[in-house]
Structure 1
């Protein structure tokens, strides 16, 4: 139960509840959508939908996972709605150049030229491969492997059993491994000369 005094206006009570979680919501939305504008729209849509439900928000014990779950479901609904309308999902609208090369930010002065070259190829390739995953798999990989969420928290946010999180994460990693190997092969399998 919230300790916010009820004498405050509804908008102020709502602001006090939501404000501490906005940064986390935005980062999660950005990971899902892949673009700043789409992430901002996702967060805004969720906040607008939640405003009339202030009493329900004040009754939630752990608000951050609950808000993340609402945001995730809203994102999935948007993707489904767009696919039914014949539009492309948000992940396909993101250009590879517009995505943050987060692996490139890990460069160190101690890396040799060969490692720098490999890393410069791996970052964009990994971004492209992750963008090809379905939204639910992409969210799972980004939450766990990129943002460092615990599997238990992911299960809570995505509202699926912990065993399902573990098995899906294993399958996603295996699929990513195969795709990234194909992406980074110097000579594609089809172009190789047989013995």
Structure 2
């Protein structure tokens, strides 16, 4: 059985880091923040309030996919945060050697904007939220199911985590996770 990569996706401020950390903790899998894979040029653009283009994002997505592949080659399942706003971005990640699955943290601009405005110490300014919602292509009907679920962000982190694990069939101790906790490499 191949390693699994659980991608926690959504716009900035949706709660990706919080939920990914909870999922990684529940599953005993290593976690990475996709923001850490951005080249300096991308960070500078976002810090200046300039939205990233597809051309800006593609090398970043390929770097994330390489990280997933590196862990999958060792049989290690992982959790990663990544906006994965467009299907084409998700398709790049799906090309990894792991079984790539998605948890879309879905919320309204008002809900997410309220959270984002209270966040400090992040290079993504709240002014770019509108551009992220404009770029967002929610999970398509053919994406949802075993490999991808959308979860409403108005629930508590505990509820969101439980719902994602249940809907993806990834409850710790279930048949699909026993191999994943042996090597946290």
Q: Is the TM value for this pair above 0.5?
A: no
Q: Structure 1 or 2: larger helix share?
A: 1
Structure whose CA Rg is larger: 1
Q: Structure 1 or 2: larger strand share?
A: 2
Q: TM-score, normalised by structure 2?
A: 0.31
Select the structure with the greater relative contact order (CA < 8 A; seq sep ≥ 6): 2
